[in-house]
Structure 1
Amino acid sequence: MNTPALCPENPCYRAEIKVDILTPTVFLYSTVNNMAISRELPSLQSITAFESEFPSEDVIIVGDPVHSKFLLAGAVTANRSFTFLTAVREARRLVKIRVLQPSIKPEEPPEEILILTGSDWRELLVQYAQAVARKAGVTPMKPAENLTGYCTWYYYYTAVTAQDFQENLNALRLHRESYPARVVQVDDGYQTFMGDWFDRNDRWPEPLETVARRIRKAGMEAGIWLMPFQASTASRLYREHPDWFVTDENGETAVSEGWSPKPDHLWACLDATVPAVRDHLATIFRTFRAQGFTYFKMDGLGFALKNGRRRDPAATAVSAFRLGLKTIREAVPDAFLLGCCSPYLPCVGLVDMCRVGPDTQPEWGTMIPRALHCSMERWWMFDRWFRADPDVMFTRTDRIRLTLGECRLTVLAGILTGVTLTSDNLGTLPAERLALLRRAAQLRMRNVRPAKWRLNCYLNTFSGTVDGKAALAVMNETEQEMTVEFSDFNLPEELEEILQPAGMQKNKIIVPRHDAVLLVAPERRTK
């Protein structure tokens, strides 16, 4: 293999990593650089086509699974450009990995690329994640407990009122022993228009500062949702400062169609290379921080990478995005920042937590499986780049179309990531669902990695530890029941199932369709 070299004849950075793999089935690990799903495929694929190309973003692994030989190529930085990697197979032989960094000009140094080889693709991903974290100066994360919290979105969506919020705050305070929420977040629905974060609609008559004070008085941290880099064309901010936004080649505001209803649906992207915009961002976060908010969910971050013209002609979409994030981080250095809809590499070292899967919803459909697949196939990011948010758990019985087993799947995702947030109204939860929520808050699986894997299949079996004891988590999102033989995982013949909880199990356990189990080895007995 060769280290990537600059190709000066092209307008952007292109390189090739030479490989030579001749085997009937070539192993491929591929991914996308954000929480969205662009390809409806598992991350682990077999390359069997006679002649084809196989793309990935940020990182890619190819190899010979029969002889356990793997090669990883991954971007370590994303200061000015994303990195796109493509494995190329010609005449039954994998011959190269192409590297493309579209925002890097020929005279510029490229983003750093790391190449690793080894016998275990899982270990290569861990090494890669650690290298990126070191480069970004990420403080090693050893969360002592799960991040628990509440947001209104998946129960009320944008129709939430201040009264709804207060009722849930009262319920959270009443059920502190069952579910000790650390954060209570005001979600989307309080503002008038996207971008006007201090202008409340008529469903929120009281100042947000009053709401934050009540949350803190109840013994929890106050959180707020906003999209810092976006403003709709209907907003006061856009009307007053039209020169603050990214423009197209004709000098017109570059807009994206967002998820808000008309007239709030056309979103303009703030240009962080404008000094006044950075002052504006710092003011927003400092003001909310002064009002008592210490947790910020920054949504829609992917929209901040809008292509177009910025005040600084040397800036790229990625460098401008990072400049905006740095401005926010410096404005509220003691706050907790959650990035949502964000690209991963440019966020490393600048946020405390990132969403690692798409939005979930309180019904099975396609959203729950997608959220589970995306979140769990990014296991190697957990507590290495940031705390990993798989989106909210569901345990409720109202405003929902999920079985108890399907609820357990969302809970186990929280236990594996250590982020156990909910939108459920605790005041309406039956006793058994409160007990499930309690387990979500108390249980944490550490050192998570795939325990069993197959090409062309989603990862759903993970090993790790719970309270220092060997553990196995099984997420059966399939349509058939699964039989789990303990001997297949070098585990004791007796294990305790603690999620349902089903108690001690011997030799094997059957996991129904759309359900989950968490098995833990018993305490070692000493003579």
Structure 2
Amino acid sequence: MKKLLTVTMALIAFLVINAYSVSIKHPGGDKFVRPLKNNSISNQLLTVSYNSALKGFEVTAQSAKKAFLKNVIPNGVIETVEQKTVVSAAFGRGTALLVTTTDGNLFSFALYSRQPFLFVSQTIKNGGSTNIDIPKLNPVSFSVDLGKPADQLKTMGTGGLLAPDKNPGSYVFLTTVDPGSRHGVVAGWITNEKGSGVLFSNIENSLVNIKAQIDYGHFLLPAGKNEAVETLAIGYFDDARLGEEQFADAIAKQQNIKMKARSAVYCTWYSEKNGGAGSEASNIELARFIEEKNLKSFGLGVIQIDDEWQAGGKYNGPRRGFDRVDPKGGYPNGMAASTSAVKAAGLENGIWWMPFARNYQDPEYKDRQHWFAKHTNGKPFETNWGATSLDLTQPEVQTHIAELAKTMKNWGYNYFKMDGLYTGTVTNLVYINDGYKNDSIGNSKPLFNPLKTQIEAYRDGLRILRKAVGEDVFFSGCSASQNMRSFGASMGLVNSMRIGPDFNHDGQTIRTGAIRASRLYFLNGKVWWNDPDPSMLREKGLSTADPGAGGIGSLTRARLLPSFVAITSQFFLSSDWLPDLPEERLEIMKRCMASHHGIARPVDLFDKFLPSIWRATDKKTGTERNVIGLFNWETTAHKIRTTLDWAGLSNEKTYYAFDFWANKPMTTISNAISEELPAESCIMIAVRARTNHPVVVSTSQHVTQGMIDLVKEEWKNGVLSGTSKIIGGDDYELRIAGINDGAAWKLDKAKIIGDAKNVTIEVLPQTEKGWLRVVIKAKENRMINWQVVFRK
């Protein structure tokens, strides 16, 4: 025995000296396989190490050269750890540390080539002889170490920018960040297939501790079965904004998301005249007005009718007879007369409906009560305003929603605004939902197919709709903030998402949409288009109880939200009655509706509740264009300031600058931008690094000042030349700086190259030192090549 003990102790010492982390067993048995020769895995960006003494993992970022994750602990008692090659359909070949626990569950901690995230997933096992119903899982917890005390850090999630111990929990993602450096850790669920991923934060031992959770309500796992659950991604970034953007890229890869082209949308709901669903007559009038004003060329492409077109009884919120038209409503000839006229004007038709809820009280459902999900008490699952949730696993329901979607498409609608989506998850209305709130998920009986979770059934419902109508129909999700269960569960299945509540329903006036669109900016253009609800332009409000129908007031205030949507390239919607809109306010729409294809980032995302500084940049044409948007969302005047390097520009350079809405050059900018802004106002500043020759700093067509319309610019041998996309009937102005730089450049002539029919070019009298304005006029939409010739 003594000899055996000595040999055993020597073996243990040998294992420790050689850094063997743990002996490896087959998950189902005690047979010794081999020692783990390396207790860590690495890729180009991260190293994951297992600490056998602490029964947990550490993760080191190569850029930071220190562990940013500590105490990464899977849920359960670790029995074995094994290194293994893994392959992902989305991310390719990688290496993982596979962990089995004493209860038979399996965890994977995986790295893939050039991916900045550690991917954590779990496979759960029901080793018993009876089925188990799992309401939630907590797969892993970890501590974030950014080299600063936790009370100096912030967390950014769906609830906004908060102290780590004040955050109620965030759906899908949670960023822990040092605001002073932007260094941070981004954690998020790249899948929400069966469950709803949530992340919670607190402070433990001076570190931010994160607990991952998946809410199911009902997840039935049969006896003897294994099943993989959701995947969590965690990564360190020197700039956490870039980390959030790469997290969105990872979701897009995992979900195979291909962004669908969008245009600006007119929504009838808030209109001063013809609100609600509008009418056949008003839609025809509106379509003709849009055609007459050439607003499609400025970006407006869809007229979407809203609630109150449909039939059915009035019980709990909207009527829900979506298979037929209200005989007393504004569409006495059915839907085809309106849609045909809109289509004839060159526009698409959109329609509002609620695909996953009906009124169980409607007579037509008297013998279809089995279509509805049920509360635990057996009654139909009904929520305030949302009405009764359909059981999306019921074959008859699946046929019903598919046929209804086909009917609407056959009416002529290619844009679906799908409201109350959360009803498909069989959860309660929680309005307004940002940070984690109890929605009683699971306070219902299992669905018709008990092996389907509520989230899984919801995603199946969206897939059924897509299959029914094809890829050419645009799915506009509405609204995540009614209940955030529809947030992650909709990713990959809708083209846009209302990321906030109805306009002004949270008492934030025009800030409502901007608040959520800012904190979720990184999803826009990668996972879906963020929809912040309509940008109101009307001056005066309505005598109505609807808080979203109020007027905007001054032109300065009216420019604020449209400019925000334009620079951030989010989803532009209008809901003012356009034929009565004054020309000066229609002008704001024209300059903001189109969407640029550059990169837009909030400069002060981690500094304040609602960012006030944005930078949009675009290098696609070979010429770098930058626009800095300064936004004062407050009701009093404020000075807004940023250094150039913090905004992503260079402190070593001097920049020409042009104020779009003031229509005037600014003094050159060096080191910092600092402006005093009146209450609820904005400044849109095009900036261009100073050179020794003339350059185009700004154009007049759009607030992004060249990103959309100026497709080419070149300086060669004293000639400034370019190609611009001109809108017919819209005077197009080039704002050129650098006339006095490098040499005393003197204008020789300006001319059109190629076909000049119905096109004129004119140099305006020079009234601004160092600047030149050139105006091009064309009768039709066209691409125009131009030249401005200088001599010294």
Q: TM-score range by the shorter chain?
A: 0.7 to 0.9
Which residue of the partner structure matches residue 450 of structure 2? 313
Residues 380, 180 of structure 1: CA spacing in aligned structure 2 closer, same or farther, 3 A cutoff? closer
- Could you tell me how far apart the structure 1 residues matched to 2:388 and 2:625 are? 50
Residues 484, 368 of structure 1: CA spacing in aligned structure 2 closer, same or farther, 3 A cutoff? closer
Contact in 1 for aligned 2:75/2:140 (Cα 8 Å): no
User: What letter is aligned with 1:15?
Assistant: P
Higher helix share goes to which structure?
A: 1
Does 2:255 align with 1:89? no
Residues 291, 140 of structure 1: CA spacing in aligned structure 2 closer, same or farther, 3 A cutoff? closer
Residues 162, 239 of structure 1: CA spacing in aligned structure 2 closer, same or farther, 3 A cutoff? farther
1:369 to 503, 511, 514: 511
Which residue of the partner structure matches residue 292 of structure 1? 412
- Secondary structure at 2:525 match in 1: coil
The Cα of 1:160 is off from its aligned counterpart by 3.7
Greater displacement, 446-455 / 120-129:
446-455
The Cα of 1:325 is off from its aligned counterpart by 0.3
- Could you tell me how far apart the structure 2 residues matched to 1:228 and 1:157 are? 22
Q: How does 1:101-250 map to 2 (within 5 A)?
A: 101-103=214-216, 108-139=227-258, 147-155=263-271, 156-158=274-276, 160-177=278-295, 179-193=298-312, 194-201=319-326, 202-203=328-329, 204-250=331-377
Contact in 1 for aligned 2:392/2:457 (Cα 8 Å): yes
- Secondary structure at 1:521 match in 2: strand
The Cα of 1:60 is off from its aligned counterpart by 1.0
Which residue of the partner structure matches residue 5 of structure 1? 74
Residues 510, 305 of structure 1: CA spacing in aligned structure 2 closer, same or farther, 3 A cutoff? same
List gaps (5 residues or longer) in structure 1.
Answer: 33-38, 259-265
Does 2:149 align with 1:23? yes
Which residue of the partner structure matches residue 347 of structure 1? 490
User: What letter is aligned with 2:195?
Assistant: S
- Could you tell me how far apart the structure 1 residues matched to 2:514 and 2:421 are? 21
The Cα of 1:97 is off from its aligned counterpart by 0.9
Does 2:211 align with 1:98? yes
- Could you tell me how far apart the structure 2 residues matched to 1:224 and 1:11 are? 36
Larger Rg, first or second structure (1 or 2): 2
Greater displacement, 237-246 / 79-88:
237-246
Residues 496, 235 of structure 1: CA spacing in aligned structure 2 closer, same or farther, 3 A cutoff? farther
- Could you tell me how far apart the structure 2 residues matched to 1:329 and 1:440 are? 31
Residues 120, 483 of structure 1: CA spacing in aligned structure 2 closer, same or farther, 3 A cutoff? same
Residues 470, 315 of structure 1: CA spacing in aligned structure 2 closer, same or farther, 3 A cutoff? same
User: What letter is aligned with 1:414?
Assistant: V
- Secondary structure at 2:400 match in 1: helix
Residues 487, 109 of structure 1: CA spacing in aligned structure 2 closer, same or farther, 3 A cutoff? closer
The Cα of 1:161 is off from its aligned counterpart by 3.7
- Could you tell me how far apart the structure 2 residues matched to 1:54 and 1:249 are? 27
The Cα of 1:77 is off from its aligned counterpart by 0.2
Which residue of the partner structure matches residue 269 of structure 1? 389
Which residue of the partner structure matches residue 431 of structure 1? 583
Contact in 2 for aligned 1:31/1:56 (Cα 8 Å): yes
- Could you tell me how far apart the structure 1 residues matched to 2:598 and 2:513 are? 20
Greater displacement, 130-139 / 201-210:
201-210
- Could you tell me how far apart the structure 1 residues matched to 2:642 and 2:138 are? 47
Residues 212, 111 of structure 1: CA spacing in aligned structure 2 closer, same or farther, 3 A cutoff? same
The Cα of 1:502 is off from its aligned counterpart by 3.2
- Could you tell me how far apart the structure 2 residues matched to 1:298 and 1:451 are? 33
Greater displacement, 125-134 / 442-451:
442-451
TM-score, with normalisation over the residues of structure 2?
A: 0.59
Residues 454, 347 of structure 1: CA spacing in aligned structure 2 closer, same or farther, 3 A cutoff? closer
- Could you tell me how far apart the structure 2 residues matched to 1:251 and 1:46 are? 42
Contact in 2 for aligned 1:64/1:70 (Cα 8 Å): yes
Contact in 1 for aligned 2:339/2:412 (Cα 8 Å): yes
User: What letter is aligned with 2:628?
Assistant: L
2:676 to 506, 510, 514: 510
Contact in 2 for aligned 1:463/1:471 (Cα 8 Å): yes
- Could you tell me how far apart the structure 1 residues matched to 2:606 and 2:405 are? 45
- Secondary structure at 2:511 match in 1: helix
Q: 1:293-321 CA distances to partner (integer Å, 9 max, x unpaired)?
A: 11111111022211423101122110110
Residues 396, 81 of structure 1: CA spacing in aligned structure 2 closer, same or farther, 3 A cutoff? same
Which residue of the partner structure matches residue 639 of structure 2? 483
1:457 to 600, 609, 612: 609
Residues 208, 159 of structure 1: CA spacing in aligned structure 2 closer, same or farther, 3 A cutoff? closer
1:323 to 456, 460, 475: 460
TM-score, with normalisation over the residues of structure 1?
A: 0.87
The Cα of 1:408 is off from its aligned counterpart by 1.3
Q: How does 1:246-261 map to 2 (within 5 A)?
A: 246-258=373-385
- Could you tell me how far apart the structure 2 residues matched to 1:59 and 1:382 are? 15
Which residue of the partner structure matches residue 441 of structure 1? 593
Q: 1:458-502 CA distances to partner (integer Å, 9 max, x unpaired)?
A: 22211112685111122211133233457544364431122x243
- Could you tell me how far apart the structure 1 residues matched to 2:375 and 2:168 are? 32
Residues 213, 161 of structure 1: CA spacing in aligned structure 2 closer, same or farther, 3 A cutoff? closer
Residues 200, 240 of structure 1: CA spacing in aligned structure 2 closer, same or farther, 3 A cutoff? farther
Residues 57, 75 of structure 1: CA spacing in aligned structure 2 closer, same or farther, 3 A cutoff? same
Contact in 2 for aligned 1:496/1:504 (Cα 8 Å): yes
List gaps (5 residues or longer) in structure 2.
Answer: 1-69, 77-102, 106-133, 313-318, 428-443, 481-485, 542-549, 689-695, 698-713, 719-792
Does 2:194 align with 1:77? no
Query: RMSD value over aligned CA atoms?
Result: 2.8
Which residue of the partner structure matches residue 161 of structure 2? 44
- Could you tell me how far apart the structure 2 residues matched to 1:297 and 1:453 are? 30
Which residue of the partner structure matches residue 35 of structure 1? none
Higher strand share goes to which structure?
A: 2
Residues 128, 174 of structure 1: CA spacing in aligned structure 2 closer, same or farther, 3 A cutoff? same
Q: Percent identity?
A: 22
- Could you tell me how far apart the structure 2 residues matched to 1:190 and 1:114 are? 44
Which residue of the partner structure matches residue 261 of structure 1? none
Residues 457, 223 of structure 1: CA spacing in aligned structure 2 closer, same or farther, 3 A cutoff? closer
User: What letter is aligned with 2:162?
Assistant: Q
User: What letter is aligned with 1:25?
Assistant: D
The Cα of 1:180 is off from its aligned counterpart by 5.0
User: What letter is aligned with 2:508?
Assistant: T
Paired residues in the alignment total: 502
The Cα of 1:430 is off from its aligned counterpart by 1.2
- Secondary structure at 1:71 match in 2: strand
- Secondary structure at 2:500 match in 1: coil
- Secondary structure at 2:141 match in 1: strand
User: What letter is aligned with 1:79?
Assistant: E
Does 2:473 align with 1:335? yes
- Could you tell me how far apart the structure 1 residues matched to 2:180 and 2:283 are? 55
